[in-house]
């Protein structure tokens, strides 16, 4: 019996090494060179080509190699009776917190404005609010959003969260569902999107939402590119409703050379690096899930296919 890794255009030797640390006897094959497809019981996927999962007649579990699973759900040929799991990992949470904190602090302490002043050789102090006066709104308070929100609150920012259902997020208040979206948005000076991509959250970062934020709000999207209506972002920046945006994700990745985001003075782009999966820390739960598959125990981090996350 074996595990197949389907991660096109990526040297996966670090994944194999990490998985062998926790299961030295595991048989691991790398797509597309699968010698015995009938032996594959667990498929580990990132950017898998549609249709590639169909070749395994005895598959028992599909695991995303990241926190998101939207690409797997989008594959119409995925065997839908096979359970789908994803990664929940302390390293993912920590590196996302670093990314968001960097973006929030850069905006709060006006580093971009100071860079502009430097280019004009201008020595002048700019006003900033007290840290507690700046409200960061976290859209999506799941494993990652909760962690990020609590780190920001620890640091002194006022934090508010928004999720589908009501929950206890520790140091910050949660607004739940469509009914409370407007109240949530009305306070958020910096809006951080950490939602999963589902039919309900696609295009959620749109002009209507931007217009409900305080004037001059700043957007950080570190979730998925399809959350954002790109033309609406450009309009909101043009009108001054938004003061800027930090985008780690784009509808089409890599961003095409002609895309207006590259050269927009109010947009900062990073190439989907907010929180890459670390094989060393993620391998243990994958091997644990593999043993659960074999013994019939309940799986860790099972995706609710109905909800889409
Ligand atoms: P979780 O599944 O743990 O959390 C999802 C959160 O979103 C939950 O709070 C959920 O609400 C909320 N949510 C889902 N649908 C809705 C909706 N329709 N309305 C309001 N709230 C909703 O996900 P993670 O925290 O693990 O990951 C979040 C996302 O972060 C991933 O899906 C991925 O897209 C992105 N990501 C990006 C990375 C990068 O490098 N850029 C790296 C890692 C992740 P409730 O709690 O009520 O169910």
pLDDT single digits (tens) 201-240? 999 999 999 999 999 999 999 999 999 999 999 999 999 9
Query: What residue numbers bound the domain in which 67 lies?
Result: 2-89+277-295
Query: For the segment 156-204, what is each residue's pLDDT rounded down to a tens digit?
Result: 999 999 999 999 999 999 999 999 999 999 999 999 999 999 999 999 9
Q: Please check whether residues 23 and 102 belong to one and the same domain.
A: no
- Kindly give the number of the ligand 1 atom that is closest to the alpha carbon of 201: 18
Residue 164 resides in a domain: yes
Place of tokens 């255009």: 9
Q: How many domains does the chain have?
A: 2
Q: To which residue do tokens 């015995």 refer?
A: 36
What number does the ligand 1 atom closest to the CA of 222 have?
Answer: 41
Note whether 187 and 281 are same-domain residues: no
User: What pLDDT band is residue 58 in, cutting at 50, 70 and 90?
Assistant: very high
How far apart CA 31 and CA 12 sit, in angstroms, is: 10
Regarding whether 58 and 20 lie in a shared domain, the answer is yes
- pLDDT > 90 fraction of the chain, expressed in percent and rounded: 99
Give residues (CB < 6 A) around ligand 1.
66-68, 88, 92, 96, 140-145, 162-165, 167, 194-198, 200-201, 222-224, 248-249, 272, 274-275, 309
Residue 109 annotated as catalytic:
no
- In this prediction, residue 202 carries a pLDDT of 98
Q: Residue 144 falls within a domain, yes or no? A: yes
Catalytic residue from among 48, 78, 224, 227 = 224
pLDDT at 21: 98
CA distance 113 to 125: 10
Q: Which two tokens stand for residue 302?
A: 């099972």
Kindly give the number of the ligand 1 atom that is closest to the alpha carbon of 161: 9
Q: What is the distance between the alpha carbons of residues 195 and 204, in angstroms, rounded to a whole number?
A: 10
Compute the distance between CA of residue 273 and CA of residue 268 in angstroms, rounded to an integer. 13
Look at the block and give the residue holding tokens 């040929």: 77
Q: Report pLDDT for 132.
A: 98
Ligand 1 centroid – CA 247 distance (Å) = 16
C-alpha 157 – ligand 1 centre gap (Å): 21
Q: What's the average model confidence in pLDDT over 53-65?
A: 97
Distance 151 CA to ligand 1 centre (A): 17
Question: What does the mean pLDDT of the chain come to?
Answer: 97
Listing DSSP states for 145-188 in one string gives HHHHHHHHHHHT-EEEEEESS----SSSEEEETGGGHHHHHHH-
Q: How far is the CA of 172 from the centre of ligand 1 (A)?
A: 17
Q: Is residue 254 part of a domain?
A: yes
Q: Tokens 């508010």 belong to which residue?
A: 160
pLDDT at site 206: 98
Indicate whether 166 and 290 sit together in one domain: no
Catalytic residue among 20, 272, 291, 292: 272
- Residue range 254-297, pLDDT digits in tens: 999 999 999 999 999 999 999 999 999 999 999 999 999 999 99
Residues 146 and 286 in one domain: no
Does any domain span residue 302? Answer: no
- Residue 111 in any domain: the answer is yes
Ligand 1 centre to CA of 291 (Å) is 27
Q: Are 59 and 110 contained in the same domain?
A: no
Q: Could you identify the atom of ligand 1 that is nearest to the CA of residue 144?
A: 25
Residue 14 lies in a domain: yes
Pair 120, 148 in one domain? yes
Task: Based on the residue annotation, tell me whether 110 is a catalytic residue of this protein.
Answer: no
CB atoms within 10 A of CB 79: 13
Average pLDDT over residues 6-27: 97
Separation of alpha carbons 143 and 165, rounded Å: 14
Specify whether 74 is located in the same domain as 188.
Answer: no
Contact 58, 41 (CB under 8 A): yes
What pLDDT, in 10s, does the model give residues 94-147? Answer: 999 999 999 999 999 999 999 999 999 999 999 999 999 999 999 999 999 999
Specify whether 152 is located in the same domain as 25. no
ipTM over 0.85: yes
Give 128-152 as a DSSP string. ---GGGPEEEEE--SHHHHHHHHHH
Residues 94 and 173 both lie in one domain:
yes
At residue 20, the 3 state secondary structure works out as: helix
Q: Based on the domain organization, do 10 and 148 belong to the same domain?
A: no
**Does any domain span residue 309?**
no
Protein residue with least CA distance to atom 42, ligand 1: 275
The first and second tokens of residue 201, run together, are 């959250």
Same domain membership, residue 94 and residue 60: no
Confirm if 235 and 259 have CB atoms less than 8 A apart: no
Residue at 78 is within a domain? yes
Measured by CA distance, the residue closest to atom 44 of ligand 1 is 67
CATH number of the domain where residue 49 is located: 3.40.50.720
């Amino acid at each position: 019996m074996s595990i197949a890794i389907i991660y096109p255009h990526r040297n996966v030797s670090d994944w194999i090494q990490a998985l062998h640390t926790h299961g030295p006897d595991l048989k691991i094959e790398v797509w597309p060179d699968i010698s015995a497809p009938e032996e594959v019981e667990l498929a580990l996927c990132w950017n898998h080509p549609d249709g590639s999962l169909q070749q395994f007649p005895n598959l028992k579990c599909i695991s995303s190699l990241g926190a998101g699973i939207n690409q797997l759900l989008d594959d119409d040929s995925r065997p839908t009776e096979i359970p789908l799991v994803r990664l929940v990992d302390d390293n993912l949470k920590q590196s996302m917190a670093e990314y968001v904190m960097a973006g929030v602090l850069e905006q709060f302490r006006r580093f971009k404005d100071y860079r502009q002043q430097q280019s004009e050789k201008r020595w002048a102090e700019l006003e900033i609010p007290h840290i507690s006066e700046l409200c960061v709104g976290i859209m999506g308070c799941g494993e990652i959003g909760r962690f990020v929100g609590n780190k920001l609150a620890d640091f002194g920012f006022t934090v508010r969260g928004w999720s589908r259902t009501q929950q206890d997020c520790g140091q910050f208040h949660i607004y739940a569902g469509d009914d409370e979206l407007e109240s949530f948005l009305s306070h958020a000076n910096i809006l951080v999107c950490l939602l999963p991509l589902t039919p309900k959250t696609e295009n959620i970062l749109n002009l209507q939402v931007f217009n409900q934020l305080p004037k001059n709000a700043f957007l950080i999207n570190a979730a998925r590119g399809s959350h954002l209506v790109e033309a609406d972002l450009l309009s909101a920046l043009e009108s001054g409703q938004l003061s800027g945006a930090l985008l780690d994700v784009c509808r089409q990745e890599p961003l095409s050379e002609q895309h207006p985001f590259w050269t927009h003075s109010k947009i900062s782009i990073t190439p989907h690096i907010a929180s890459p999966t670390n094989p060393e820390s993620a391998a243990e739960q994958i091997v644990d899930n593999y043993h659960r598959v074999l013994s019939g125990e309940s799986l860790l981090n099972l995706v609710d296919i109905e909800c889409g996350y």
